[in-house]
Amino acid sequence: MTVYQGRVKQYGLFLLPPSPAASSTISLDVESVGRVLLLFAPHGGTLGTNRKNAPVPGFADVEMWFWMDTWPSIVDMLRNEKPVTFVFNDSIQSGSLHTGWEPTGEEE
């Protein structure tokens, strides 16, 4: 089992209309992990397979799938929280995007 994790340094948003050929993505630059693609499927669509890829220049190191209705929550987290951490466990092919502990009502 290998766990890949690090803080998100930068992100890019790529919102596309629903299509069987392409999905909307959020691209993350994650310390100690590399490029992570969060891919989004519309409800009624099909989620792809989460995976850690072999290192190939120009391609994502990790791909994780979410339903499209999680897009606003993830964008809000990336825009308004600090730090944001990405974790991926390759033995279960799943991971998380989360914030650190902070006081209630901080109004960040």
Q: Is residue 107 part of a domain?
A: no
- Strands ordered across the beta sheet of 3-14: 51-52, 62-67, 34-41, 24-30, 3-14, 84-89, 94-99
Q: Is residue 108 part of a domain?
A: no
Q: Is residue 104 part of a domain?
A: no
Give the Cα separation of 71 and 74 in Å (integer).
Answer: 5
- Residue 74 lies in domain: 3-99
Q: Is residue 19 part of a domain?
A: yes
CA torsion angle for 3, 95, 20, 23 (degrees, to 10)? Answer: -90
In the chain, the number of structural domains is 1
Are 8 and 86 a contacting pair, CB within 8 Å?
yes
Q: Is residue 106 part of a domain?
A: no
Q: Is residue 62 part of a domain?
A: yes
Give pLDDT tens digits for 39-66: 998 888 889 999 999 888 888 999 999 9
Question: What is the reported pLDDT for 8?
Answer: 98
Average confidence score pLDDT of the chain: 90
Give pLDDT tens digits for 12-35: 999 887 776 677 899 999 999 999
